[in-house]
Chain A
C-alpha cells in the first residue's frame, strides 16, 4: 500500500465508509433491476459529488480539490469493491482531458460543473469492439464532428462527450447530431454506440501531440484502480468463505491445495496493487506515465482475470448463482479488461514503448 498523507487517508476512509454503508452491492442490484439506460442512481452520484469526489483531479480555482490521481484512485478502488455504478470514473477521465488540453475558457466553462456533479462527461475514442486509438476515422469540418464511436462507457448519462477525431480531441455536448444505440453488456452498466452526425464540436487545442495518449493513460490507471478494488473484494470474500465452509469435517481453508492457491493469488494481488498505485503516482509526478500506466492496466487485467475466475471456482456451486455477488465481478471484469487496452494491446504497447 502506498504511503498516504493525512488528506488521502481521510478521503479513503470516507469512501470506504460510504461504499460499505450506503452503496453495498445490494444498491447495484437495485440499479440492475431498475433497468434504466443510464444505469446508476442519480441521487447517489449527487452525494458523491457533494463529498468532493468528482473534483479530486480538478484544480482548486475550478472548483476541485486538486488532490491528484492517487487520491482519485483511492476513491475509485473503494467504489470498485462494492461495484458502485456511477459515472465518476468516466467524468474524471473526461475532466482530465480538459485539464490537460482545454483553454482557460473551456476550463472555466466545464470544470466547475464536472466537479460539482452537475455535468456528467465521458471519453469516446474507440470505433470498434477493440481498443485501437490508431484507427480513428471521426473527423471535423467547419466545427462539426462526424463519426461513430463504439461501446462508449456511461454514454446514457453523459451531458458532454470528449471525442477523439483524426486531428485531436473535441468537446461535444449531447443534443443535436448526437444519437445513441444502447449496447447492453454483461456488466449491466451503461454502454452505447454513439453516432455523431455533424455535431457541434469545440476543439481542445492545448496539451500537445500526446494529448490523446496522455488522457488514455489516465483512463487506464483509473480503470485499473476500479479493477484493484474488485480483485481485492473477490479475494477477501473468497478467503472468508474458505475459512467458513466445511467439507470432509474440516474447513476448506485447511486443504493445502487451496492454501497454495490463495497464497498465489495473494502474491498476484500484491503485484497488482503495486502496479496500480505506481501508475496513479506516475500521473501525479508527471514522469514515466506511459510505461507506468501500461504496466498498471496490464497487471490489473492479468490479476483480475485470474481472481475473478478463481472466486467462482473456489466458492463451488454457490458461486454460480445470481443470488451470490461473486459472479457480478466476473461480468464486470471482462468489460474492464477490454477497456482502454486488452492484455494483447498492452503487451504490444509495452514493447513499443521500450523500442523492441
Chain B
C-alpha cells in the first residue's frame, strides 16, 4: 500500500532523524559499539562501566529508552514514527537501548494504565532513567499455571499491610530493588481476593535464595516474605483488583516474550549462512546436506510468517488500543520458533554446538548452548504454551468447557 505522507511530516521526521544522529555522535561511546545491553535483562548484577553509566544517563535523561511513554513521567513523549527512527538510528550506529528490564517491558505500561498519579510520578521516571530494577512476584510453589491459587497473604493493619508467604522462580530477585507482586488480601474469594502491590526488596523480612538452572546460571530465586511491612500507598488500583491488573501485565509480558525486538534482532544472522560456515557446500554453492537445507528453509519460511503475523497484530492492536488476547498467539508461536531455532543451530554445528566450556569453543557457540537451555523456559513462563492454548480456545474461539 502506497502511503501519501504530507511533506511537512517528512520534513519533521528528517529533522528528528538528524537530531538522533547528532545525539548519538555526541553521546554514544565507541567502546560500546555492537554490545548488548547487559543491564536490561534480569540476568546479572548491576556493575556498570563508566561508559555504560554515561550512556544510560544520556538516553534516560531524554526518555528515549521509553520513547512513547508520556513526557510528564520521564518518557520521550514521542510518536510511534519517531520511536521507529530512534530504533533505526541506534541500530545503524550499533548502539543498544540502555533502558530495559521488567520495569520497561511489563510493569511500566501496567502502572501507566492503573496507577494513581502519585504512583506514576514516583515509579515511572526511575524506570525511564534505568535506575530501578523490578522483579515479578507472581508464582508460588502451588500457584504456577493456576496463578490465582496464590497464598501469600497481606494482612490489613490500617495504614499498612503485613505480608507473609513465599514466591518462587522470581527472575532477577537477587538483583532487584523492588517487586511488583500479586498477593491475597481476602481468603474467601479466589480471584477477587487478590491485590497488586509494590514491595521493596530491601525491606526487613524479605529474603531471596537463588536457584541454579539447567543452563548453569542462577537468574531466578525463591523469595520469602516474613512479616514484611508494605505501606498502603503501595497498593495499585483497588484492593481486590489485583487479578485484573495482574493479567493485564501478563499480556505485556507475553507480547515481549514473543518478541518484536528480540526476534527481530536475531533476524540478521540467517541460519543458512551459519550452516554454510559450518558445513560443506556443493558446486552450486548450496548446502551439501540437503536434509538440513530443507529443514532450515522450512524453519525460515515459518519464521517469516511469524514476523508478518506479529507485525499485523501490532497494526491491528493499534486500531483496538493496546495489547490483547492475540498476545497469546504470538507468545505461543514466537517461543516455539525460537526454541526450534536453537535446536537447529545445534544440528548445524554438530558437537561443536554442544560445548559447555573451554577455549575450543567460541563465545558465540557457548552462549548459544546456554541460550538453548534457558530458552526451554520461554514456553513455561509468562503462562505456558498449554495455558496460552487454553486462553485461545476458550476466550478467542469460544470453545467452552462442557460443564
Interface residues of A (CB under 8 A from B): 128-131, 150-151, 181-188, 191, 193, 246-249, 255, 257-258, 305, 309, 312-313, 316-317, 319-323, 327, 330-331, 334-335, 338, 342-344, 347-348
28 pairs of residues in contact across A and B, judged by CB atoms under 8 Å: A129-B352, A130-B351, A183-B358, A183-B360, A184-B358, A185-B354, A185-B355, A185-B356, A186-B356, A191-B351, A193-B360, A247-B144, A248-B145, A255-B386, A257-B386, A313-B384, A316-B145, A322-B214, A327-B214, A330-B214, A331-B373, A335-B354, A338-B346, A338-B350, A344-B291, A344-B292, A344-B347, A348-B290
Asked if residues A335 and B373 are in contact (CB atoms below 8 Å), the reply is no
Give the residues in chain A near B73, CB-CB below 8 Å.
none
Nearest 8 interchain pairs by C-beta: A327-B214, A129-B350, A129-B352, A344-B291, A247-B146, A130-B350, A322-B212, A151-B351
Bound Cα distance from A246 to B350, whole angstroms: 39
Bound Cα distance from A301 to B350, whole angstroms: 14
Q: Given known contacts A317-B144, A320-B377, is B350 in contact with A128 (CB within 8 Å)?
A: yes
Give the residues in chain B near A258, CB-CB below 8 Å.
386
Task: With CB as the reference atom, state the residue of chain A lying closest to B355.
Answer: A185
Binary flags per residue of B379-393, CB closer than 8 Å to A gives 1, else 0: 111001110011000
Give the residues in chain A near B389, CB-CB below 8 Å.
257
Asked if residues A313 and B211 are in contact (CB atoms below 8 Å), the reply is no
Asked if residues A150 and B356 are in contact (CB atoms below 8 Å), the reply is no
Instruction: Say how far B205's CB is from chain A's closest CB, in angstroms.
Output: 24
Asked if residues A330 and B376 are in contact (CB atoms below 8 Å), the reply is yes
Q: Is B92 an interface residue (CB 8 A)?
A: no
Q: Given known contacts A186-B354, A317-B380, is B347 in contact with A342 (CB within 8 Å)?
A: yes
Bound Cα distance from A331 to B384, whole angstroms: 22
Q: Is B338 an interface residue (CB 8 A)?
A: no
Other A-B contacts than A182-B358, A317-B168, 14 sampled, CB-CB below 8 A, are A183-B355, A184-B358, A185-B351, A185-B354, A255-B386, A312-B380, A316-B144, A317-B139, A317-B380, A317-B381, A320-B214, A331-B373, A338-B351, A344-B291
Q: Is B169 an interface residue (CB 8 A)?
A: yes
Asked if residues A320 and B279 are in contact (CB atoms below 8 Å), the reply is no
Bound Cα distance from A319 to B377, whole angstroms: 9
- Give chain A's interface secondary structure class: mixed
Q: Is B295 an interface residue (CB 8 A)?
A: yes
Bound Cα distance from A334 to B354, whole angstroms: 8
Asked if residues A331 and B214 are in contact (CB atoms below 8 Å), the reply is yes
Q: Which of B343, B355, B385 contacts A184 (CB 8 A)?
A: B355
Q: Is B357 an interface residue (CB 8 A)?
A: yes
Asked if residues A348 and B386 are in contact (CB atoms below 8 Å), the reply is no
Give the residues in chain B near A312, CB-CB below 8 Å.
214, 376, 380
Give the residues in chain B near A188, CB-CB below 8 Å.
356
Task: With CB as the reference atom, state the residue of chain B lying closest to A131.
Answer: B350
Task: With CB as the reference atom, state the residue of chain B lying closest to A192.
Answer: B360
Asked if residues B169 and A317 are in contact (CB atoms below 8 Å), the reply is yes
Asked if residues B356 and A248 are in contact (CB atoms below 8 Å), the reply is no
Asked if residues A246 and B142 are in contact (CB atoms below 8 Å), the reply is yes
Instruction: Say how far A305's CB is from chain B's closest CB, in angstroms.
Output: 8
Give the residues in chain B near A191, CB-CB below 8 Å.
351
Binary flags per residue of B201-244, CB closer than 8 Å to A gives 1, else 0: 00000000001111010000000000000000000000000000
Instruction: Say how far B351's CB is from chain A's closest CB, in angstroms.
Output: 4
Asked if residues B353 and A248 are in contact (CB atoms below 8 Å), the reply is no
Q: Given known contacts A247-B145, A257-B389, is B352 in contact with A321 (CB within 8 Å)?
A: no
Give the residues in chain A near B216, CB-CB below 8 Å.
322
Instruction: Say how far B338's CB is from chain A's closest CB, in angstroms.
Output: 13
Bound Cα distance from A334 to B373, whole angstroms: 11
Asked if residues B289 and A323 are in contact (CB atoms below 8 Å), the reply is no
Bound Cα distance from A323 to B209, whole angstroms: 14
Binary flags per residue of B228-272, CB closer than 8 Å to A gives 1, else 0: 000000000000000000000000000000000000000000000
Asked if residues B169 and A184 are in contact (CB atoms below 8 Å), the reply is no
Give the residues in chain B near A187, CB-CB below 8 Å.
354
